[in-house]
Structure formats: C-alpha cells, structure tokens
Structure 1
Amino acid sequence: MAKSSFKLSRITIPALGLFWLAVTTLPFIFVVFTSLKTQEETYVNPVWALPESLNFGNYVQVIQGNYLTYLRNSTFVIVVSVALIVSVSTMAAYALARLKFRFNAALFGLIVAGMIVPLHVTLVPVYLMTRSLGLYDTLFALIGPYVATSLPVSVFILTEFMRQVPRELEEAALLDGCGPFKIFARIFFPLSGPGISTVAIYNGIMLWNEFVFAYVLTSSPAVRTLPLAVWEFQGRYAADIPTILAVVTLSTLPLIVVYAIGQEKIVNGMMAGSLKG
C-alpha cells in the first residue's frame, strides 16, 4: 500500500504542477502572441493561431505614445512609496515587538484591523484631503494613500518577524550601552532583511497594479501611471486588440522580472513571519 501511494504521488504531483504551469502561463503566451499580430489577423484567424509574422509595430506605436511617461511616473511613485513603507513599518514593528508600553497590544490590533478596511470607503475623504492640500493631479497625491494603505500588512509581517530575534542579542547590546535607536539600527534592521525584502517586493508589486487611487487623484496624462496607460490605450484603441495587449505585455514584464528575482525572498519572509518561537 505504501509503495503504491508513493508511486501515485510521484505521478500526481508533477501532473498537478504541469497543469498549474499551463494555467498560469498560457494566458500570458496568448497576450504576447496576440500583441504581435496585425489588427486584421485578430478578426480573420482563429484566436489561438500563431501570428503570420512578428509585427512589432504595435510596440513601436505604444512606446512612441505616452508609455514612457507612465513608466517613469510609476517607477518614481513606487520607489518613494516603498522606501517610506519600509522605513515607517520597520520602526513601528520594532516598537510593537520589543518595547513595553501601555496599550501595546491594543495599538497592534488597531493597526492590523486596518487590513480589513475596504479601499473604496476611503476614496472620498482621501480625494477631499488631497484637494485641500493642493496635491491633486500630482504624483505626490498617490504617495500618501499608497503608504497608508500598505502599512497595516507591512507592520504585521515585520512585527511577527522581529519577535523571533533572540532576546540575548538585545540584552547584550543594552549591556554595551546601546539605546533603543542603536539596537534597532545595528541589530533588528539588519536581521530583519528577509522580512524587509518581503515587504518591499510585495508592496511594490501591489502598488504597480494600483488603479483606483491613480484614477481618482490624477487627471492629466503627464502624471498618470501605468495602470492608467492600459486604460487609456483601451479607450483610445477600443477595437485595436493587438495594440492594447502590447501595452499589457510591456506593463507586465517589469513585474515578472522583479517577481522572478525576488519570489524566494517573498516566500521565505512570509514563512518566517508566520512562525513563532
């Protein structure tokens, strides 16, 4: 019985892996192949037919438009937002994980509760606040909401991670005369590298695809980000399917590269933050 079940697992596990690989890969392959077709091919040939020739004119058309402006805007907003998220969440996580003060648990619970707040509930107050501050239709209008909505999950991950740092290291630093800031900078921040990488990559990927705040808080093409580029090209070329999918391909490639490089850090950081003891 044991041998038969072992043989069955050797067959089913690779089969399930290949099935999941096909499910996740085929849609992207379809998008890439269709983006290389002409508009006439998409209407005349079958949907899954290979392109008759590699037509890169769709990509040239997209790049010659506002795509590079959208890419620059997205890169700026994501880099600044992720830097602020990492800075604030690491300091907050250290205080919640290692410093003893009143209402520590209540404050941590309040921060974690922010994870369940629906995004759309905040749109109107955030829009009004942005208008009153004079930040509407600027890239800085996106940074505040991005940081605020990303902090709960970031603090949660890093707090659980910092609770696992051996207390002996902290006590040794205290004996050497280090204060809380030095202990954080010299011990907890370096040792939390996997968790920080997880937070940075996770939030970078999530914010790269963010559409709602970018749509509500910006209006001019000069300050719009990549998700709005997809939306704009879809409106502008409503029937030009290959051009639309060329935008999707160009917008997705940076995410694929980043995730391929950092997927191990994400998994290890999530696993480390979920274990106690």
Structure 2
Amino acid sequence: MIMINKLKQLVIYIFLSVWLLITGYPLVFLVQNSFKIRMEFFRNPVWSLPEKFTWQNYIEVMKSGFYIYFINSIIVCFISVAIIIIVSALASYAISRIDFKFNKIVYILFLAGMMIPIHSTLIPIYKITLSMGLYDKLSALIGPYVAFSLPISVFILTGFINDIPYELEEAAIIDGASRFRIFRDIILPLVKPAIATVAIYNLTLLWNQFAYALVLTSSPSKRILTLGLFEFQGQHGINIPLTLTALFLSVLPLILLYVFLQEHIIKGMTAGALKG
C-alpha cells in the first residue's frame, strides 16, 4: 500500500512538472528573447540564451511611449473594477436579502446580460458614446466595461450571500442595526473571498479587452495596452525581440498581481468551489 501511494505521488509530480514546463516555457521564451538584439535572434536558435544580456529593447519600448498604454489601462481597469465591486455587492445584497416585488425579475435580467455577445453591442454603444460626447476619452470605456461585467459579478456574489445564515442578520436587526450597517459589518466581511474572485476575474478580463478600445478611442494618447500593443506590433513586427519585450511587459502586471494576491485568489476559488 505504501509503495502504491508513493507511485501515485511520483506520477502526480511528473504530471505537474510536465504541465509546469508546458505552461511556463512561453513566459521563459518571452523573457530570454527580450534580452537579445534583432540580428542575434535570427542568427541563433530561438531557445538559446542571449549572448549578451542587454536592456536596449526595454529602453526602446519605453521611449516609444508604451508606458502611456500602461497608465491608461491601469486607470480604466481599476476604476471599472472598483465600480463593479461596489454596484454588484449592493445589487446582490438587495436581490438576496430584500423581498421586493420585482426581485426575481431583476435577478433574471442580470443573468440575461450574460448571454449578450459583446460584439453585437459595438454599434449601439458607439452611437451612444458619440451622442454623449465621450468618444475618444478613457471614460468612454468605463461604462461598457462595468455594464458587461456586472451580470457575472452579481451572479457570483448573490450565490455567496444566499449561503450566509440569515440568523446573523436577525440578531443585528434586534440590536437596532440598519440595513447598511448589516451590509457593511456582517455581509461584506463574510463575502471577501467572493469579492476577491470578482475583482481578479474582472481585472484580468478587462486588462485584455480590445474591441471597445478599438471602436471608442482613436488618439494614441487614449489607447489602452491591448490596442497599443496591436499598433506597436504593426510598427515593429520585423524586430521580433522588441515585440516580445512589449508582450512581456504587457503580461507582467497580471503576473505580479497573482504573485502578491495568490492567497486571496486560491481562497476565492476554493470558497467558490465549496459553495458550488
């Protein structure tokens, strides 16, 4: 029995090692080739280490104004995620705990929003943005980002709040606590794993959003990372190490996000699995 268990563990370790190699090597490929000059990339095997590590590609990427795309993406994504968390948490609490006439209808409408293809709304949103005078502004992206992230966020948070025993709130009501205080002091602390899941999921999704930025912005100073990366690749496609450097810098914030918030990510995913 002991030998069988050790054999199972060995098989699992081998499988995980192979999986790590498959999923991790693309990132290693980006990093090692970002330190090569263009001619070295074509002269040597692509998997070889740089002959001489140089920061020239990183300097050129930043000189090209690539940092502007980072700043724009950070502004749009973090403001959008903050609004999503606040609105979805309040809406989920109302749907789950407040018994009003159109409670189920409101929840069904939120769920229906999950079935709307994003690309089918580009023309209407473009016309609305023009009529509101928001075209080619970063604020034009926040509205669509929030609107199309709310359905899944409300769905996740409502499921978590439904599993919280109502007796906790009854005790607070007896003590004279208001709805807002119950929401702030009881509900929010208990749904922190769900909020972390919603925040990270939406931040990753919005960070990689492309369609709305392409339709609703045109100026180079208003481009977000994905659109700027697309334009950058078109201008420097022949300089592959430079393009790979830009790609690595574009995914670096998400990697750092996971490194520093991996505990919250795992807790959120585990809690969601248990409640599911």
- Give the TM-score, by structure 2 length: 0.94
Helix, strand or coil for the counterpart of 1:137? coil
Alignment of 1:242-253 (within 5 A): 242-253=241-252
**Equivalent-residue separation in structure 1 for 2:275 and 2:208 (angstroms):** 32
User: Quick check: 157-166 or 147-156, which moved more?
Assistant: 157-166
**Equivalent-residue separation in structure 1 for 2:145 and 2:131 (angstroms):** 18
**Equivalent-residue separation in structure 1 for 2:74 and 2:6 (angstroms):** 49
Aligned to 1:239: 238
Q: Residue type of the partner of 2:67? A: L
What's the CA shift string for 1:204-252, capped at 9, x where partnerless?
1211111111111111111111112211110111201011111111111
Alignment of 1:192-203 (within 5 A): 192-203=191-202
**Equivalent-residue separation in structure 2 for 1:166 and 1:99 (angstroms):** 14
Aligned to 1:34: 33
Alignment of 1:258-273 (within 5 A): 258-273=257-272
Q: 1:4: how far off?
A: 5.2
Structure 1: gaps of 5 or more residues: none
Aligned to 1:189: 188
Q: Residue type of the partner of 1:213? A: Y
Paired residues of 1:96 and 1:108 also in contact (CA < 8 A): yes
Aligned to 2:85: 86
What's the CA shift string for 1:109-146, capped at 9, x where partnerless?
32123223211111111111111111010000100011
**Equivalent-residue separation in structure 2 for 1:93 and 1:68 (angstroms):** 37
What's the CA shift string for 1:62-100, capped at 9, x where partnerless?
111211211111111111101100110000110111122
**Equivalent-residue separation in structure 2 for 1:156 and 1:272 (angstroms):** 15
Helix, strand or coil for the counterpart of 1:219? coil
- Give the TM-score, by structure 1 length: 0.94
Q: 1:276: how far off?
A: 4.3
Q: Residue type of the partner of 1:123? A: L
Structure 2: gaps of 5 or more residues: none
Q: 1:48: how far off?
A: 1.1
**Equivalent-residue separation in structure 1 for 2:110 and 2:5 (angstroms):** 46
Q: 1:178: how far off?
A: 2.1
Paired residues of 1:127 and 1:216 also in contact (CA < 8 A): yes
What's the CA shift string for 1:34-72, capped at 9, x where partnerless?
111111112111121211111211110011121121111
Aligned to 1:204: 203
Q: Residue type of the partner of 1:121? A: S
Alignment of 1:1-277 (within 5 A): 2-3=1-2, 5-276=4-275
User: Quick check: 65-74 or 178-187, which moved more?
Assistant: 178-187
Q: 1:270: how far off?
A: 3.2
Q: Residue type of the partner of 1:71? A: F
Helix, strand or coil for the counterpart of 1:166? coil
Q: Residue type of the partner of 2:136? A: D
Q: 1:274: how far off?
A: 4.5
RMSD of Structure 2 on Structure 1 (CA): 1.6
**Equivalent-residue separation in structure 2 for 1:119 and 1:220 (angstroms):** 23
Identity over the aligned pairs, expressed in percent?
Answer: 49
Q: Residue type of the partner of 1:225? A: I
Paired residues of 1:74 and 1:208 also in contact (CA < 8 A): yes
